[in-house]
Structure 1
Amino acid sequence: MEHIGKLLPNQGYSIYLKQEFTHAHLQSLMQLYQPLIGVHAVSLFMTLLSQYESSPNKQDPYTHHSLMQFVNLSLPEIYQARQKLEAIGLLETYQLDNDNETIFTYQLMMPCTPLQFFSDGMLSQLLYHQIGADKTNELYQLYAQGTKQNRNRGTNITAQFDEIFQKAPVERDMSVKAIDTIENQGPNISGTTISINDLSQLLSERMLPVEKILTPFNIKIIQQMASLYDLTTLDIEKAVVWALSDQYVLIEKEFKSACFDLYKQVTPESSKSLKVVDQKEKLKTKKDKPTNRQDQFVQMLEEISPRQLLEDLSNGNQASKQDLKMIADVMSQQGLTPGVMNVLIHYVMLKTDMKLTKSYLEKIASHWARKNVKTVRQAMTLAKSEHNKYQQWSTQKKPRYQKSGKKEVVPDWFRKQKDKQEQDEQKIQNEQQSSDSTSDVSELLRDYNKKKNHL
């Protein structure tokens, strides 16, 4: 829910455009960009473009409330679509905060032409992964190759300027400033996992011609592939060496293929499965508005992802990769839905002093999987009914090695006193946990409702 508070309906925006939108741009947007960013992002781009072209006064701001009506999307969907446009290089966003208002400026960047698109290593590779090799090649043949005409056109007999027009004497400088145009630079890559300096050093150690290999064009391709596949400098070095010709020319197609192969090697399925911690419960029907605190809590667990719950329970701090991997593994192995996993996270962290223990988590998850728990309410009901059993699991200790086989003899009064003391301690602990649980639920609901009211 990273959009919360970052975009409000009453905030205004103005649109800025430096280039003319042509038919080639439209074809590229619909055929090449849309598979990557989706229809919502394309709809947002075209709506902003239409508003700019139809507005008599370019300075008058629109409101995001009116934009919601134009595109028939919610504010979170608009924010998500905007981020996709920004990331792919079709939009630049500027924010100006005044005393009483916030105004955004949306600068539309024209899409790459088809030829530019297929010349961009990252865009073409993204399209390849999205729609497959056959469809990508079909589009390439249609657009990029279509610009090349192989037919014999004969001798060029085009008239020259000085053959037709007479040069008039120049009395004063009538030159005008060239129109400032902006060429689309492709996806917006803020930083990569590699260092070009380190890569240059590694190639030099191999006695390779660094200047011939690390050209500006090749560096751009290298940075794009490193960002796309999350590769290290050493990974990129391997891919570069693999893709060099006998003349030390970097073969782009082979380099991309090598990067993809390395990605598959260094990225295990368990790492790719981390995405499940960002999933939310898929609700089939729209439920009535919750009338009590428990219903509100159930709704919250259904509407947020395990990552968000973990971070909320940690006072907004970023969840560790170790905890996220643990949760992702449990969800994948036991087939738990995001909502059920949320109940498990909340229960375990409250009962184990805000710590996630893998063995304890797996044991309860396995029990719930055998019980075929599929909903948040089922998970909460089972957690309450099996609470005593789960408490025993969490407090079980390995038997200590005893040197002597003799039993320790203690008086009955001592045993009774000790049992009573343990019962009192357990009662206090249960009351404290109940109090902590109530306080924790109230705090989570308060934060959740506060965030939800911002939209």
Structure 2
Amino acid sequence: MFNQDDFGIRPQDPFNVIQSEKLSEAQLEVLNRLFTPLIGTRAIGVYHYLSQFAYPNNNQAVTHYVIMSELKINLGDFREEMNRLEAIGLIKTFVKHNKDNSHFVYELVQPPTPKQFFNDPMLSVYLYKEVENKRYHQLKRYFEHTQMDLSNYQEVTRNFTDVFKVPNQAFDNVQENNITQTASYKGINLDRVQFDFESLYQLLSNHFVSSEIVEEQAKGLITQLAVLYGITPEGMKGLILKSLTSNQRISYEELRKQARSFYAIEHENQLPALEAKANLPTSPQQQEEVIELTKAPQTPEEYESWFKLMDATSPIDMLTSWAKSEPTLKQKYLVEDLIVREQLPFGVINMLLQYVMLNNDMQLPKTYIQEIASNWKKKELSSAAEAHAHVMDMKEAEKQRKAKQKNNPPRFKNYGQQIASKEITPDWLIKGEHKKRSGKNKRKADDAEDQSLAQDRANFLKHLKETWKEDDE
């Protein structure tokens, strides 16, 4: 398991803060008014607090003792607020491990502009869910500014050469400067999300729609909508077809509306809420260890965490973790079939796939899996824990059956096989075989009788010849 001393923050660990420039008034408004409802005042307070350590030429590190003392929180709570800031895209964290400590660097990212925020499908939907309709439109109106209509005016602005002379001699003594680039807001990081675009392209081609319409910007929007609303490639295909313009281009605004309507229909007009995961890992190393689904748990606590992870993990991600590579297209279709047709929960499907792989040399035979899935659905298994208990019961029953056979061996060789064969042999086949055997025996008896008559006839003829020879003499 994860060792706190290997990576976790310790009070004596030093840190530095990077911020290319202080926030403007407009950026502060975005941070305080729009991000606070999403991640809370404590997280925003940590962002403001860390900014005091970001000043020019500050190379002197401060230990985390200072944070504990001044914020009056333990490092676990501090790490929890940092998780929120990192996940929403406002802070980047870097670390360098030394023998005695771990040196952290926290980079404060500039908040987005109001337009960027409200155009982001994830941020805007989550904000709407948190503050509801009336307050959402109040916040939006606060950042809206009515621009003067200049359509009837003519621009008469002078350009540079109208005012200044163009220099005749080039300036070659240009030196590099150390002015840092502002870390601009990139939105919520979804780099680890793998949307199956290949399946989407294939589904679109079935409707004679080229994959070229899914441009790079469209890919980003599709991934965001897929994560936000839990949309599969099959579902996304339908939304895209409804969002095509007359010139066969995707209308991004229409696609967002279609996705929102799709989710609302399935969830009784409710929008998705921003919810934190339980037992969130505190480091990339710990996260890699948690995602390692192939590691067998040992203690009851590990089993409990493992079951929760299995219930929350997509079967596609589970297969990726097991195979260390992207599942094949057939495997993805198989998983989608289990979800759609059998309507089994993630935990049950994950347990089913692992059970089959461990018993079939890491293979996934489709027919065999579908038979087990149908059986498990009838048993109404609803979680990884229930599926695991069912597998253990099956193993125990199999163990007892083998032990019983070992303690009571068959009296004759292959007796058990003969009995089993007899039990599964239909009556009509047994009678047919009996007739065949009877016919064969009868033919053998007739042949033997014919041979006996022929021999008697030959002996009789021989006797007559000898008798006739004696009479002639």
Unaligned runs of 5+ in 2: 280-296, 314-343, 348-383, 390-473
2:11·2:64 contact (CA, 8 Å) conserved in 1? Answer: yes
Kindly indicate whether residue 223 of structure 2 is the aligned counterpart of residue 223 of structure 1: yes
Hey, what does 1:188 align to over in structure 2?
A: 189
Q: How does 1:219-298 map to 2 (within 5 A)?
A: 219-263=219-263, 278=278
2:17·2:107 contact (CA, 8 Å) conserved in 1? Answer: yes
**CA deviation map 1:110-130 (0-9, x unaligned):** 110111212222222222222
Quick one: which amino acid aligns to residue 135 of structure 1? Answer: R
Moved more, 145-154 or 235-244: 145-154
* Distance apart, 1:237 and its partner CA: 1.7
Quick one: which amino acid aligns to residue 164 of structure 2? Answer: F
State the TM-score, normalized to the length of structure 2.
0.54
Kindly indicate whether residue 321 of structure 2 is the aligned counterpart of residue 312 of structure 1: no
2:17·2:54 contact (CA, 8 Å) conserved in 1? Answer: yes
1:36·1:127 contact (CA, 8 Å) conserved in 2? Answer: yes
Fraction of identical pairs, as percent: 23
1:90·1:110 contact (CA, 8 Å) conserved in 2? Answer: yes
Q: What is the root-mean-square deviation in Å for CA atoms of aligned residues?
A: 4.0
1:13·1:104 contact (CA, 8 Å) conserved in 2? Answer: yes
Residues in 2 aligned to 1:141 and 1:315: alpha-carbon distance in whole angstroms: 47
Kindly indicate whether residue 51 of structure 2 is the aligned counterpart of residue 62 of structure 1: no
* Distance apart, 1:71 and its partner CA: 2.8
* Distance apart, 1:317 and its partner CA: 4.2
Match of 1:13 among 7, 12, 15: 15
Shift in CA distance, 97/315, structure 1 to aligned 2, threshold 3 Å: farther
2:16·2:53 contact (CA, 8 Å) conserved in 1? Answer: no
SS at match of 2:40: helix
1:34·1:42 contact (CA, 8 Å) conserved in 2? Answer: yes
Quick one: which amino acid aligns to residue 51 of structure 1? Answer: F
Residues in 2 aligned to 1:252 and 1:150: alpha-carbon distance in whole angstroms: 26
Quick one: which amino acid aligns to residue 301 of structure 2? Answer: D
Shift in CA distance, 181/356, structure 1 to aligned 2, threshold 3 Å: closer
2:205·2:211 contact (CA, 8 Å) conserved in 1? Answer: yes
Residues in 2 aligned to 1:310 and 1:267: alpha-carbon distance in whole angstroms: 37
SS at match of 2:145: helix
Quick one: which amino acid aligns to residue 32 of structure 1? Answer: L
**CA deviation map 1:86-117 (0-9, x unaligned):** 11111111111001111111111111011121
2:110·2:182 contact (CA, 8 Å) conserved in 1? Answer: no
2:39·2:85 contact (CA, 8 Å) conserved in 1? Answer: yes
2:90·2:111 contact (CA, 8 Å) conserved in 1? Answer: yes
1:95·1:103 contact (CA, 8 Å) conserved in 2? Answer: yes
Q: How does 1:415-426 map to 2 (within 5 A)?
A: none
* Distance apart, 1:74 and its partner CA: 2.7
Residues in 2 aligned to 1:266 and 1:174: alpha-carbon distance in whole angstroms: 65
SS at match of 1:52: coil
Residues in 1 aligned to 2:113 and 2:3: alpha-carbon distance in whole angstroms: 31
Residues in 1 aligned to 2:222 and 2:250: alpha-carbon distance in whole angstroms: 10
Hey, what does 2:40 align to over in structure 1?
A: 38
Hey, what does 1:161 align to over in structure 2?
A: 160
Residues in 2 aligned to 1:86 and 1:183: alpha-carbon distance in whole angstroms: 14
* Distance apart, 1:163 and its partner CA: 1.8
Residues in 1 aligned to 2:175 and 2:152: alpha-carbon distance in whole angstroms: 36
Residues in 2 aligned to 1:228 and 1:114: alpha-carbon distance in whole angstroms: 20
* Distance apart, 1:214 and its partner CA: 1.3
Q: How does 1:294-373 map to 2 (within 5 A)?
A: 312=301, 314=303, 317=306, 319=308, 321=310
Unaligned runs of 5+ in 1: 280-307, 329-354, 361-455
Hey, what does 2:149 align to over in structure 1?
A: 150
**CA deviation map 1:145-175 (0-9, x unaligned):** 3164336684323232112211222243244
**CA deviation map 1:184-232 (0-9, x unaligned):** 1101113325222322222222112432x31222221111111222322
SS at match of 1:21: coil
* Distance apart, 1:318 and its partner CA: 5.2
1:128·1:136 contact (CA, 8 Å) conserved in 2? Answer: yes
Hey, what does 2:202 align to over in structure 1?
A: 201
* Distance apart, 1:250 and its partner CA: 2.8
Hey, what does 2:104 align to over in structure 1?
A: 104
Quick one: which amino acid aligns to residue 10 of structure 2? Answer: L
Shift in CA distance, 264/171, structure 1 to aligned 2, threshold 3 Å: closer
Residues in 2 aligned to 1:68 and 1:153: alpha-carbon distance in whole angstroms: 60
**CA deviation map 1:299-319 (0-9, x unaligned):** xxxxxxxxx999615396454
Quick one: which amino acid aligns to residue 169 of structure 1? Answer: N
Residues in 1 aligned to 2:166 and 2:249: alpha-carbon distance in whole angstroms: 47
Residues in 2 aligned to 1:130 and 1:181: alpha-carbon distance in whole angstroms: 30
Shift in CA distance, 323/194, structure 1 to aligned 2, threshold 3 Å: closer
Quick one: which amino acid aligns to residue 82 of structure 1? Answer: M
Residues in 2 aligned to 1:236 and 1:200: alpha-carbon distance in whole angstroms: 11
1:192·1:226 contact (CA, 8 Å) conserved in 2? Answer: no
* Distance apart, 1:132 and its partner CA: 2.4
Residues in 1 aligned to 2:264 and 2:208: alpha-carbon distance in whole angstroms: 29
* Distance apart, 1:12 and its partner CA: 1.4
Shift in CA distance, 72/246, structure 1 to aligned 2, threshold 3 Å: farther
Quick one: which amino acid aligns to residue 35 of structure 2? Answer: Y
2:18·2:107 contact (CA, 8 Å) conserved in 1? Answer: yes
State the structure with bigger RCO (CA 8 A, min sep 6), 1 or 2.
1
Residues in 2 aligned to 1:225 and 1:261: alpha-carbon distance in whole angstroms: 12
SS at match of 1:198: helix
2:199·2:233 contact (CA, 8 Å) conserved in 1? Answer: yes
2:121·2:224 contact (CA, 8 Å) conserved in 1? Answer: yes
Shift in CA distance, 131/20, structure 1 to aligned 2, threshold 3 Å: same
Hey, what does 1:81 align to over in structure 2?
A: 81
Moved more, 171-180 or 236-245: 171-180
State the TM-score, normalized to the length of structure 1.
0.56
Match of 1:47 among 46, 49, 68: 49
